[in-house]
């Protein structure tokens, strides 16, 4: 009995060593709007695969500059489809790995209850001092906000009230801390259980801005990284898709 137990334990140890030998670490550049879902996805993926995810969150435009300058990322989850496509044309990605993992939604949001009405008329009333949005040159959600305001005919009148964040994460911080009474953020940042979880908001109709198609791609550095390929496969799985939808994204 003792010999069997020892052999059994040795076998378990061998399996553990084999699993760790195949596990890899994947460095992921993630658009700031996808912070919450990515943290949840990374936890589930690590449990399912044994691989380790090291995620960095920020503005898509800044990530592009870092990647072309040699930043050690294996995978890029952008806030648009143009930046990954550009890297693809510049031979900075693994051919055939790019796909749309989410379609983002823009929301005009305030941390104050009842401040933003259900039709966004608050923009036309202009009874506020500061309106936050992400830098349109760096963040696709900022560009979408700019497009929406132009279509509504309020952009030029509101421009003096703009407070710009480098990323959608910083923009959210401006609003949540009260430094701006309202602003444009990703719906995923304020959405939970099928509704806006706090404050007040207006989900901007999709016809007021270009579609926010968010693409994922394996970068050249990650071409031989098994964890990189496994992570993108996991993003296409039904559990990951369900989680992404739960944060207010379309697919």
Is it the case that residue 207 has pLDDT exceeding 50? yes
Planar angle of CA 36, 42, 45, nearest 5 degrees: 140
Is it the case that residue 11 has pLDDT exceeding 50? no
- Report the CATH number of the 2-103+212-246 domain: 3.40.190.10
Bigger pLDDT: 247 vs 193: 247
Please report the pLDDT score of residue 23 as a whole number. 83
- The pLDDT tens digits for 90-111 are 999 999 999 999 999 999 999 9
Nearest to 196 by CA among 248, 244, 140, 161: 248
Provide, rounded to the nearest whole percent, the portion of the chain with pLDDT above 70.
Answer: 91
Is it the case that residue 206 has pLDDT exceeding 80? yes
Give me the mean pLDDT over the 99-126 stretch.
97
Domain with CATH 3.40.190.10 in the chain: 2-103+212-246, 106-203
Please report the pLDDT score of residue 25 as a whole number. 97
Please tell me the class of the 106-203 domain: alpha beta
- The pLDDT tens digits for 71-92 are 999 999 999 999 999 999 999 9
Please report the pLDDT score of residue 13 as a whole number. 43
Provide, rounded to the nearest whole percent, the portion of the chain with pLDDT above 90.
Answer: 87
Is it the case that residue 19 has pLDDT exceeding 90? no
Bigger pLDDT: 1 vs 61: 61
pLDDT band at 1 (very low <50, low <70, confident <90, very high): very low
Give me the mean pLDDT over the 141-149 stretch.
97
Per DSSP, the residues of the chain read -HHHHHHHHHHHHHHHHHHHHH--EEEEEEEGGGHHHHHHHHHHHHHHH--EEEEEEE-HHHHHHHHHTT---SEEE-SSSHHHHHHHHTT-B-TT--EEEEEE-EEEEESSTTSS-TT-THHHH---S-EEEE-TTT-HHHHHHHHHHHHHT-HHHHGGGEEEESSHHHHHHHHHTTSSSEEEEEGGGTEETTEE-SSEEEEPPGGGS--EEEEEEEBGGGTT-HHHHHHHHHHTSHHHHHHHHHTT-B-
Is it the case that residue 14 has pLDDT exceeding 50? no
């Amino acid at each position: 009995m003792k010999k069997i137990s020892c052999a059994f334990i040795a076998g378990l140890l061998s399996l553990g060593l084999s699993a760790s030998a195949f596990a890899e670490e994947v460095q992921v550049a993630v658009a700031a709007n996808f912070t919450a879902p990515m943290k949840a996805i990374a936890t589930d993926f690590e449990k399912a695969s044994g691989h380790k995810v090291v995620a960095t969150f920020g503005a898509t435009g800044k990530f592009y500059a870092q990647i072309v300058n040699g930043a050690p990322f294996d995978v890029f989850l952008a806030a648009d489809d143009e930046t990954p496509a550009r890297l693809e044309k510049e031979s900075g990605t693994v051919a055939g790995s790019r796909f749309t993992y989410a379609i983002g939604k823009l929301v005009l949001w305030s941390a104050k209850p009842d401040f933003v009405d259900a039709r966004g008329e608050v923009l036309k009333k202009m009874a506020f001092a500061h309106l936050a949005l992400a830098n349109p040159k760096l963040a696709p959600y900022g560009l979408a906000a700019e497009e929406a305001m132009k279509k509504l005919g309020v952009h030029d009148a509101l421009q003096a009230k703009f407070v710009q964040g480098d990323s959608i994460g910083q923009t959210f911080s401006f609003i949540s801390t009260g430094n701006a009474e309202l602003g444009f953020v990703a719906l995923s940042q304020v959405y939970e259980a099928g509704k806006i979880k706090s404050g007040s908001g207006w989900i901007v109709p999709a016809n007021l801005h270009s579609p926010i198609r968010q693409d994922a791609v394996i970068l050249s550095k990650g071409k031989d990284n098994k964890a990189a390929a496994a992570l993108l496969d996991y993003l296409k799985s039904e559990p990951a898709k369900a989680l992404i939808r739960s944060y207010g994204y379309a697919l």
